[in-house]
Structure 1
Amino acid sequence: MRNLGVKVVKFIIVFSIVMLYHGLALGQKNDVWIRYHDRAKNLYGYKDLKGKIKIPAKFEKYFTQADSFYNIISVKEETLHDYKTYYLLKNGKKVGLDSLYILDYAVDCESEGKIRFQNKKNDRIGFLDKNGKAVIPAIYNYATPFYNGVSRALINAKRTCWDEKEDTLNCEHLAWKGGIKVLINDKNEILADSLHNLPDNINWYSLKTNQADLDTSIWFTIKGKNGNTYSFIDYQKEFRHWFDTEFLPALKSTNKESLKRLFFSDLQIESLKLGTSNPHQKNFNTFVRKIVTPERFQANAVKEIHIMNVDLMFMNSEKPIYKKYFDACGRHQKEKFPTFLITIDYYIKRKEALTLKSFPQVDANWKPSEFDINFELDYQERFEFLRTSNGYKLVDVEVKN
């Protein structure tokens, strides 16, 4: 009886913790405010999920980019004679006046309860938490948002201009030169430094610390401080491995349901013969047997295949089924849900071979190949794949026939 009582108490404790966590997560989701547009004023404000106005429309569009307001957002508010920029909390508190982090006309968006700010006096980047407190001081030249509790940052670099003939005071495109690339955690501790030649497509959410015997065909490891190692999946290698070992072999299957699991439920196909359609709803057999075939993905002398990482198309952000793949500012969450595009380029022989003078001399050391001189692009086909919570899925197809 005593053991039974202990088990009951343990169950109640675990159950209470689970319900509390679920309640907090659900509460945050339900407490989100949504941006709305007052067309008469051409200004933006925020409503709750029931449509009640929480903040009247008073913000200018371009620096008020958060579609969803969870805890803290960047805003630009017009005043009588000018405007002011700051970070806004739901309780109305304004912090970080004139300290918005802006890169390529885009402001930052809350990520993992933090948002970047820029100290204009020293030209450095730091982080505010969801309550507007500066939890990481502005000491970095550059820093990425936090993903899975880590951020890549640059420190001790010098301002320079892309065009080395111009000085930084008369420069159209500023950049950073030198410095140390570091990996920091959310306590502002440097986990690793002197980061060089990192992959472009890192799965930060796959982090393993001091883990041996990983599959090096898709994993890479960073040597950190104090003898620690940090390992991550390279998304591009992972996708290529999945495509070669799972996707292509599965196309030969006769099991319709197994095939359907390869494709996103909102998969769209554009074909000169089939038009625009969703093969889940019609023409599934035609789609698989004539369009998505292993043979189509085999290169030859006049057919090139390329794989690249791309952003999920912005137009998809309006569809409920895609909502989870975009952040609070409506930007593709490519660090968590990367998208890969496979292009198939078909070439035909030129009617008349080109001469060397026909090619633009972008680089004095570059010369066109015999193939470039004698062949030209006829058309291109595109296959787009999205990494979902259930693995990679084909989401969009454009083919000639």
Structure 2
Amino acid sequence: MRHYIFAGLFTLIGFSSFGQNNKPWLSFWNKDSTLIGFKDSENTVKIEPRFTGFISAKKFDDIIGVSETVNKKWINYYITKSGRIVGRDSLHIFDNGVDCETEGFIRFRDAKTDKEGMFNRKGDIAIPANYNSLTRVINGMVIALQGAKKKSWGKESGDHHFSWEGGKQILIDTNNRVLIDDFKSDGRLDYFSLLISDQPDPSPIRKNFKTLQGKYYSFIDVRKEFDAWLKTALLKDFTKERLLAASFKELTDGWKAEESSAFINRNFELIKAKFLELNRPNCKYQVFQDGLNPFIFESANFERFYNNCGEAKEWIYPVMNIVVSHGKGNEKDFYQDNLTFLRTEDGYKFISVDLEAGLIK
């Protein structure tokens, strides 16, 4: 028996558990652009500017991490919309940015134990700081790492980094309940596609995991899904109509964007030739999974694909970049073409083409 517990990705996008009237507050600068505050959707100031520019959130749903200077001392903490302050000196910082609320939860790091936990939107501890690291919440689930050792490098050069070695990944829910022990994930799963069944799901694009309760969780492997879609929905019978249907509102040629239908109509024969190369047995190409680059895809059409901190929601909307290699590697004739797709609520959409050979008009 198979239990369809969660609907697919494309029916869930845009759903808000907070209700339609709970609109986020928006950040704004003070007059000399040194401090940040927040206003509601009616432009009423809810928090006067007092936070430093270190803050990541541009929108405030329920809980954010902030920093400010008090009596010439720099302090940091989490604050809720009700004004509750929690997690002093416990900000979760990665790549010079503070964690962003996701699905009503936000990560924190205990400075004494160097372990991670998670607050809910009210500022209560939902997951205690017992883990080396946690992913953000994805469809009510979290991947947690435990028993790992920290490896640091770059102290001598001043470019200090660290990573975790060893340990075990487990899948937990937001109540800290273990769902899957020893959860080996490669970052290619769509967690919104979860199916729960008594037996492994036979689909060739799904990956199965046995739970502690004896059931099976299966998730779509987005790389396998994309490969199957590319070969059957686009390349099997490649036409201008199919390409237009599989294209986003705008296409980017390197750094320049324009309306996709005009671009494709003007350059179709060249683009068609590049796509049809993928059908050749000797074609050398790889598919790389990533997130949207906010410095390239910055128009209003892409706004929904970023979170409140301006980060790409790659766990929902991954980017698939097809890199086609030409030549023999070390020779002067070697070059690469890039054909890029974005996974959206309407399926995969062609968003960018970057060709080193051939002229784009």
State TM-score, norm by structure 1.
0.77
Deviation at 1:131, TM superposition (A): 0.4
Residues 63-212 of structure 1 correspond to what in structure 2 (within 5 A)?
Answer: 64-162=55-153, 172-196=160-184, 198-210=185-197, 212=199
Greater fraction helix: 1
Q: Is the 8 A contact 2:251 2:350 kept in 1?
A: yes
Residue in 1 that maps onto 2:227: 240
SS at match of 1:36: strand
* AA of the residue aligned to 1:114: F
SS at match of 2:236: helix
Instruction: Tell me how far apart the structure 2 counterparts of residues 115 and 266 of structure 1 sit (CA, whole Å).
Output: 33
Structure 1, 106-115 or 311-320: larger mean CA deviation: 311-320
Residue in 1 that maps onto 2:276: 295
Q: Is the 8 A contact 2:251 2:257 kept in 1?
A: no
> Identity, % of aligned pairs?
29
Residue in 1 that maps onto 2:46: 54
Closer/same/farther in 2, CA of residues 156 and 339 from structure 1, 3 Å limit: same
Residue in 1 that maps onto 2:348: 392
Q: Which runs of 5+ in 2 are unaligned?
A: 1-14
Instruction: Tell me how far apart the structure 2 counterparts of residues 109 and 283 of structure 1 sit (CA, whole Å).
Output: 36
SS at match of 2:207: strand
Q: Which runs of 5+ in 1 are unaligned?
A: 1-20, 348-370
Closer/same/farther in 2, CA of residues 171 and 37 from structure 1, 3 Å limit: closer
Residue in 2 that maps onto 1:260: 244
Structure 1, 180-189 or 377-386: larger mean CA deviation: 377-386
Instruction: Tell me how far apart the structure 1 counterparts of residues 43 and 247 of structure 2 sit (CA, whole Å).
Output: 35
Deviation at 1:180, TM superposition (A): 2.2
* Consecutive aligned runs of 4 or more in structure 1 exceeding 6 Å deviation: none
1:27 aligns with 2:21: yes
Count of aligned pairs between the two proteins: 341
* AA of the residue aligned to 1:44: I
Instruction: Tell me how far apart the structure 1 counterparts of residues 16 and 110 of structure 2 sit (CA, whole Å).
Output: 37
Q: Give 1 or 2 for the bigger CA radius of gyration.
A: 1
Q: Is the 8 A contact 2:289 2:318 kept in 1?
A: yes
> Whose RCO is larger (CA < 8 A, sep 6+)?
2
Closer/same/farther in 2, CA of residues 94 and 222 from structure 1, 3 Å limit: same
Deviation at 1:208, TM superposition (A): 1.0
Residue in 2 that maps onto 1:311: 291
Matching residue within 320, 325, 344 for 2:324:
344
Matching residue within 198, 210, 221 for 1:223:
210
* AA of the residue aligned to 1:397: V
Instruction: Tell me how far apart the structure 1 counterparts of residues 67 and 200 of structure 2 sit (CA, whole Å).
Output: 50
* AA of the residue aligned to 1:295: L
CA RMSD of aligned residues (A): 2.8
Greater fraction strand: 2
